Amino acid sequence: MTDFAATKAMFDLPPGVLYLDGNSLGPLPRSAPDRVAGMVSDEWGKMLITGWNKAGWMAQPMALGDRIGRLIGAEPGHVVLGDTLSIKVYQALAAALALNPERRVVLSDSGNFPTDLYMAAGLLRSLDKGHELRVVAPEDVADHITDEIAVLMLTEVDYGTGRMHDMVDLTRRAHAAGVVSVWDLAHSAGAVPVDLARAGADFAAGCTYKYLNGGPGAPAFIYVAPRHAGNALPALSGWLGHDSPFAFEQTYRPGTGVARMRVGTPPAIQMAALDTALDIWDMADMDDVRARSIELTDLFIQLVESTCPMLTLASPRDSAARGSQVSFRFEHGYAAMQALIDRGVIGDFRAPDVMRFGFTPLYIDHEDVRAAAAVIADVMGNRLWDRPEYQVRAAVT
């Protein structure tokens, strides 16, 4: 059994804060300041250029990929770190399209995170072969998987509502129709059990600064199924994806397996923070995390609904169809979230009217949920959001 009191003790949470936004940016592991300071002073400072070998910076994208791979059911050696999620989704989609060159439709849904749709639209435009990006409602996806579709590109857990797709079922339907699948795991990795190998997913990508707690701007990851890893030609064919980067050949030859999805120089300082954050994940079992996440989200829904009739649940009530967050709709959601943050309950707001709360069992427990629900009841019941200082929007919401 995962010892959640022990994992909670591994985080440096500010006093007085109930942090329900780990689905956007995970908090600071207690070990991170020393690990990052050591990397900067002892690795960069003392090893200088030799750190790429001696400190293992160059090998880390594959090593960290495997540490993450364990959490998402990937075969060892088939996940690599780098770039941002937008870039990794682009690479995955480009490689997936190349596996289905006769078809011209990419199917996604309106619950996908916008950057996935933007990157896809940009890719399809640059290919200039008449591809269509078909965006349907999340509940209609299954019915639209036909032999017209080249690639099914979905985010498993909806960033706004927490609604979760059935990856196993949709991937099975996709394959039955000759469709290649690309899964965005931004709100899945570390949030819900994922078994890419069992699902037979073709490509996946995700970020590491949310549930994995890698720090602001931590690099993304990409998964390529073993059956594709040897023939997927990267759209972004950078030197570190070359079979022999330091031979400085003039012609690109893709590296072995998923390593070819590397592009440029990896962010060594960010990787140190992520590396130490993943130590905490080594203490956790994903099934335990899921069971506790469901307890916490069920409790939160029950407490908030019993005290705040003005909030409308935007997340699935059925925990089996929900990720590790709970969202409520409220017309004055932005102001209400500012009032909550002022009182130490940190969630976030997603336009136009969604208040999001993430539940991360590694450091959020039942007492935190009860305390947060009490603050929400106060803010809503006493209309504390209706003060002028909460109405002005910041650049990043």
Binding to a copy of itself, residues 5-24 (CB under 8 A): 12, 14, 17, 19, 21, 24
Q: Which pair of tokens denotes residue 40?
A: 């900067």
- For a copy of itself, the binding residue among 64, 68, 72, 87 (CB under 8 A) is 87
Which of the residues 130 through 159 are near a copy of itself (CB under 8 A)?
135
Q: Which pair of tokens denotes residue 385?
A: 């959001």
Examine residue 31 and tell whether it contacts a copy of itself (CB under 8 A).
Answer: no
- Distance between CA atoms of 215 and 271, rounded to whole angstroms? 9
Which of the residues 340 through 359 are near a copy of itself (CB under 8 A)?
341, 346, 348, 350-351
Examine residue 364 and tell whether it contacts a copy of itself (CB under 8 A).
Answer: no
Catalytic residue among 163, 322, 350, 356: 356
Catalytic residue among 11, 19, 90, 113: 113
Shortest Cβ distance from residue 24 to a copy of itself (Å)?
5
- Does residue 356 have an active-site annotation? yes
Which of the residues 46 through 75 are near a copy of itself (CB under 8 A)?
46, 48-53, 57-59
Catalytic residue among 184, 202, 348, 368: 184
Examine residue 122 and tell whether it contacts a copy of itself (CB under 8 A).
Answer: yes
Shortest Cβ distance from residue 356 to a copy of itself (Å)?
11
- Does residue 70 have an active-site annotation? no
Pairing of strands 18-19, 345-346: parallel
Examine residue 320 and tell whether it contacts a copy of itself (CB under 8 A).
Answer: no
Examine residue 221 and tell whether it contacts a copy of itself (CB under 8 A).
Answer: no
- Distance between CA atoms of 254 and 9, rounded to whole angstroms? 43
Examine residue 113 and tell whether it contacts a copy of itself (CB under 8 A).
Answer: yes
- Does residue 209 have an active-site annotation? yes
Residue 58: how many other CB atoms lie within 10 Å: 17
